[in-house]
């Protein structure tokens, strides 16, 4: 249940000049990603600017992208909330239109204890028993860390199939791997951590860089799986400057700038996010040119 492949792209949300969602460009970009290394599209996560999207906008994005990549890639719907009731309602609605899974972020701002986190995710899983759920732990944004022991208990739930691990902490990822069955998939939530986490048994990555280098990331993971460690390491080191450049400021500001430099009409970010400043733009442009991406 819930094999999402190696490379999952945390897709940006394109906007028109008036600030409304550009569904046409979203569908076009999704199809492009599906043809360039992406196994699964993760919609309306952090990179998709979920905090400033309405539920209606998110639902319409799920509909448009599902149609665009039908038969080419899977779609995971970001339906998380810091309200269990809201998360359940959004996940049930998305499930009815045929998404292949749902990303469920650790509830943010209200900082529930581990018992509350466990109950939250189990309630969503119980409400949507046929939909694979991917946990999303990103304490730098949520203010709360989902502890490995809690993850291990959640991994016992049939349709909680994996975790997007975005702590940047290899000790935590190692402990999760030690405590969970191999069928429970660990995905790096940070591009720069993908290769290190593969070494301890991760499945792949929920990537930002795959907007630009999806094929290369797929090659890296496949090389590692085939025992070609030096090849995988060479790809990682070649792409490492890009991994860092895409986080010179708050995600998704840099990746949207990079896509615009490639000619994509993805628009700006929604306030309170803002445009990349001159320093970030220049550094990003230099890395893209070095990698022949523009």
Contact indicator for 284, 248 with CB cutoff of 8 Å: yes
- CA–CA separation, 290 and 120 (whole Å): 45
In terms of Cα–Cα distance, which of 91, 139, 136, 134 is closest to 111?
139
In terms of Cα–Cα distance, which of 154, 223, 145, 225 is closest to 184?
154
Alpha-carbon torsion, ordered 12, 100, 206, 91, to 10 deg: 70
Encode 210-228: b = buried (16+ Cβ within 10 Å), e = exposed.
Answer: bbbbbebbbbbbebbeeee
Alpha-carbon torsion, ordered 210, 147, 88, 27, to 10 deg: 0
| Cα 115–Cα 121–Cα 124 angle in degrees, nearest 5 | 140
Check if 289 is active-site.
Answer: no
Written as six digits, the tokens of 161 are: 């199939």
> How many residues belong to the chain?
294
Written as six digits, the tokens of 183 are: 């069928």
The answer to whether 47 is a known ligand-binding residue is: yes
Contact indicator for 257, 246 with CB cutoff of 8 Å: no
The answer to whether 9 is a known ligand-binding residue is: no
Alpha-carbon torsion, ordered 79, 147, 249, 73, to 10 deg: -40
Check if 203 is active-site.
Answer: no
Give the DSSP letter of residue 245: H
Cis previous bond, 53, omega within 30: no
Written as six digits, the tokens of 46 are: 């952090």
Catalytic residue from among 74, 164, 203, 256: 164
Catalytic residue from among 23, 59, 136, 192: 136
Residue positions forming the annotated binding site: 47, 206
Residue positions forming the annotated binding site for pyruvate: 47, 206
Q: What residues are labeled active site?
A: 136, 164
């Amino acid at each position: 249940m819930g094999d999402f492949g190696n490379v999952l792209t945390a897709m940006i949300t394109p906007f028109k000049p008036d600030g409304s969602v550009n569904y046409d460009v979203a569908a076009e970009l999704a199809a492009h990603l599906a043809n360039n290394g992406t196994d699964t599209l993760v919609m309306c996560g952090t990179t998709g600017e979920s905090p400033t999207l309405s539920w209606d906008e998110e639902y319409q994005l799920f509909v448009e992208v599902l149609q665009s990549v039908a038969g080419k890639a899977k779609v995971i719907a970001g339906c998380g909330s810091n309200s269990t009731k809201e998360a359940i309602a959004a996940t049930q609605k998305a499930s009815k239109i045929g998404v292949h899974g749902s990303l469920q972020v650790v509830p943010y701002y209200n900082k529930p204890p581990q018992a509350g986190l466990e109950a939250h995710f189990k309630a969503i899983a119980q409400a949507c028993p046929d939909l694979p759920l991917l946990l999303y732990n990103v304490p730098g944004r949520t203010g709360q860390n989902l502890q490995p022991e809690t993850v291990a208990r959640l991994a016992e739930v049939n349709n909680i199939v994996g975790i997007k691990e975005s702590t940047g902490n290899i000790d935590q990822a190692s402990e999760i791997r030690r405590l969970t069955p191999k069928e429970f998939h660990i995905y790096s939530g940070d591009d720069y951590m993908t290769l290190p986490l593969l070494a301890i048994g991760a499945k792949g990555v929920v990537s930002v860089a795959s907007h630009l280098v999806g094929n290369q990331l797929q090659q890296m993971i496949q090389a590692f799986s085939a025992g070609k460690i030096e090849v995988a390491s060479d790809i990682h080191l070649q792409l490492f400057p890009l991994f860092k450049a895409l986080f010179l400021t708050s995600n998704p500001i840099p990746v949207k700038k990079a896509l615009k430099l490639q000619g994509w009409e993805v628009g700006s970010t929604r306030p309170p996010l803002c445009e990349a400043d001159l320093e970030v733009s220049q550094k990003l442009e230099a890395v893209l040119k070095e990698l022949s991406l523009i």
